[in-house]
Amino acid sequence: MLDLRQVSKYYQTRTGSRQVLNNINLRVSKSERVGILGRNGAGKSTLIRLIGGSELPTSGTIERSMSVSWPLAFSGGFQGSLTGLDNLRFVCRIYSVSYSDVVPFVEDFTELGRYLREPVKTYSNGMRARLAFALSMAVDFDCFLIDEVLAVGDANFQEKCRQELFVNRKNRAMLMVAHDASMIREHCSRACVLENGVLRNFDDVNTAYDYYHDELRSSNTRYSLSLSVLEHPTTNAINTLLENTNITSLNSDTDQLGPNMSFDNQNERIVTAFYRQLLGREPDAIGLRTHSNWMQQHGGEDAVQDLLKMFLANDECRQYLARQDMSRLVGLSAEKAQAFDSIVSLGTHCYTATFLKRFQLKKFSSAFDWIFSNPSMIAHVIDDDFETFLDATQYSPVPIEQRRDGTDVNRVQHSYYKQAHGVDFMFNHHDVHEPKDYAYLTRCVERFRSALRDNAKTLFLLLRRETEHSIREFELIRDALQRKNEDVSFMFVAVANTPTHTGVARMDVLARDQNAVLSRFSGTSHWRTLDFVDPFDEFCLLRAILSNFSPTSKPN
């Protein structure tokens, strides 16, 4: 068994101490295969090094009651002037393995022939990889650590590695780390997602995968910057930005960042760093182009400073940074742990899911997270148990020129729900004609169903603009939910159209029935459907929601 308890890791950088891993808990039992998904810079390699034992955690404990390999496919560790066999001899000595026993295997596996007696510095990358892999297979570990391994070498070599690892050693434990999910989906029984140094455990690979996939798309990444950067947009601040984003290692990630994300030049790197650090998201194609062109034209050191000032003057940036600071101040973690295992969005647009994500309350991707819907449609979908919802014959693609909000959104119409319930561009973000996206949708539906069916502590949440029909909408959805599960917890928050003028946000309960609550929320500022003008309103909203369900004030 491998047991990590509250493991944290800090590194010293020029601009101070930087947290890479935050309170990680992970347990891998004998012959279990666990995958860890995470973007570059998420802390994967650090985690693997800590587990491998080549570095020590700043705090927390790592217990190994089985032998754990060093991180596989790491192609360093060779002394260039030594021969392949000398390197093997060294590994054999430190792991007390008989050298003569393993030489035949290494010769056979690497197919390096006489090169094994030549210095490693004369090897090509492929040859090094073969040797590295063979060395780690020569020692009989109980648990293998695999760091993006099988991406090297030709198909033949990859097949051999696969055979050795997953067939010949199928009863060994494995911990696999990757930014690309395909290996993990193929070989692991369980997966975790590592984002910003926080590890989330999931029971099965697909749930983790969908969560990770959403994460990549909306990339609500948290960095350690704070509002103080607004006051001092210095070179130091810029260096922090660039360093923390791990931007130099991004190239291998391009396939995941979309077609617009190949870094042609340094400007694009800087712009991307600014987007991630100051807006907490990946740049959109237009933004990336505009800003890097702007930098191209201005040039020089000042351009970076000026760009930073432009970003800092931007409202989205101020909001994002304010949210970071407040998150730290308010420290919501204690509250969120109490009442529910998970909170699931019911639509009716992306805000509910976005809101949950911002406060790290979103545990998995579910059916209504990223689609357009309305109350009558939601009720129908639940009554219908998603049958019409998943009926692929109802899907019709939206031609690009008819997309209202941009070419990457408004993707697919659902004919029935458009006609009968007036929902336009239902599948806004996913092209459900694609088998990949359809499979994602099916899994999301399955998770929603089981959340509703099981008596797990799930809160179904809907944040929606207040209308004169709010009470009817609330009843419609509540009844549909209760027909499936009498004990369901449901909360409908109608966000008022006009802010309060008292300088304090306000939440009123309009209706309450068993575990279903309809509330009216008015912030101190306008709600812009995806955020409030004043980000503090969002905190008030969150606290108001949670206080409704805290153990002391729990209804009935």
Query: Applying CB under 8 A, which residues contact other proteins?
Result: 11-12, 49, 52-56, 64-68, 70-71, 74, 76-79, 81-82, 86, 89-91, 93-96, 139-140
Nearest to 220 by CA among 354, 348, 330: 354
Nearest to 355 by CA among 443, 463, 446: 463
Taking the complex as a whole, the smallest distance from the CB of residue 510 to other proteins amounts, in Å, to 57
* 3-class secondary-structure state, position 185: helix
By beta-carbon proximity to other proteins, the closer residue of 140 and 255 is 140
Alpha-carbon span 277 to 241, nearest angstrom: 6
CB-CB neighbours of 517 under 10 Å: 22
Torsion over CA: 327, 333, 334, 339 (sign): positive
Taking the complex as a whole, the smallest distance from the CB of residue 88 to other proteins amounts, in Å, to 11
By beta-carbon proximity to other proteins, the closer residue of 77 and 258 is 77
By beta-carbon proximity to other proteins, the closer residue of 78 and 144 is 78
Q: What is the DSSP string of 69-105?
A: EEEET------TTSBHHHHHHHHHHHTT--HHHHHHH
Taking the complex as a whole, the smallest distance from the CB of residue 518 to other proteins amounts, in Å, to 54
Tokens of 439: 């499979």
Taking the complex as a whole, the smallest distance from the CB of residue 4 to other proteins amounts, in Å, to 15
Tokens of 417: 């729900």
Q: Determine the residue type at 231.
A: E
SS (H, E, C) 213-235: HHHHHHCCCCCCCCCHHHHCCCH
By beta-carbon proximity to other proteins, the closer residue of 69 and 220 is 69
Taking the complex as a whole, the smallest distance from the CB of residue 79 to other proteins amounts, in Å, to 5
Alpha-carbon span 220 to 531, nearest angstrom: 14
Taking the complex as a whole, the smallest distance from the CB of residue 508 to other proteins amounts, in Å, to 55
- Phi and psi at residue 297, in whole multiples of 5°? -70, -35
Torsion over CA: 172, 173, 179, 180 (sign): positive
User: Can you point out the beta strands (E) in 280-357?
Assistant: 342-345
Taking the complex as a whole, the smallest distance from the CB of residue 172 to other proteins amounts, in Å, to 15
Taking the complex as a whole, the smallest distance from the CB of residue 110 to other proteins amounts, in Å, to 19
Residues 207, 185 contacting (CB under 8 angstroms): no
By beta-carbon proximity to other proteins, the closer residue of 135 and 459 is 135
Distance of CA 497 to the CA centre of its chain: 33
Biggest distance spanned by C-alpha atoms of the chain: 83
User: Can you point out the beta strands (E) in 404-513?
Assistant: 412-414, 458-465, 489-495, 506-513
By beta-carbon proximity to other proteins, the closer residue of 90 and 294 is 90
By beta-carbon proximity to other proteins, the closer residue of 197 and 347 is 197
Taking the complex as a whole, the smallest distance from the CB of residue 143 to other proteins amounts, in Å, to 10
By beta-carbon proximity to other proteins, the closer residue of 57 and 347 is 57
By beta-carbon proximity to other proteins, the closer residue of 79 and 251 is 79
